[in-house]
Amino acid sequence: PSENLHEVHEENVEMVGLFTTLSNALVHLEKCLQVKSFYTHSHSVIFLTKILLHLGVFPEREHCTLCGEELQKFNDMYLIAEEGGFACPPCMNQRTAYSVQSGRELWELLGHIAHTKYQDLGSIKLEYKSLPRMLFHYFCFQFHFEEKDFKTAAMVF
């Protein structure tokens, strides 16, 4: 009997990528702990960003998800999980159905992290829970998870 190794390999591609992302996160975490530059919120945002990239649900950053306008020209933008990315201020002013926080800092941070390898990421210091919380909400929405089901999330976010 002959095995179809292609099918077996294809199933493992996703797991290999997830393992690589997790492995890189742990190496980066250990390095930061050794030099005493560990920041819980920073590492949460970095890890979630890398996972979202790998899984193909990274938030749209180039254009407003509501009108298509280029986001680079705005001073502010808003992460809308339900729309899969960021929206511009004029669109947010017209729509009150979304409850979101301003996300310019997160928008910039996601861009930096997405285009930088783990080993090249320096120390990123986030002291507030709002950015990782926004990204965690986005992650949960994309995968149809309930935030309350993550029992230990409250300790991180």
Does the structure show a pLDDT above 50 at 33?
Answer: yes
Task: List the chain domain ranges.
Answer: 5-156
- pLDDT, tens only, 69-125: 999 999 999 999 999 999 999 998 887 666 566 688 899 999 999 999 988 887 788
Domain boundaries 5-156, corresponding CATH code: 1.20.1440
Q: For residues 76 and 56, give the distance between their C-alpha atoms in angstroms, rounded to a whole number.
A: 24
pLDDT given for residue 15 in this prediction: 66
At residue 3, does pLDDT exceed 50?
no
Q: Kindly state the tokens that stand for 39.
A: 């920041």
Q: Categorize the per-residue pLDDT at 51 as very low, low, confident or very high, splitting at 50, 70 and 90.
A: very high
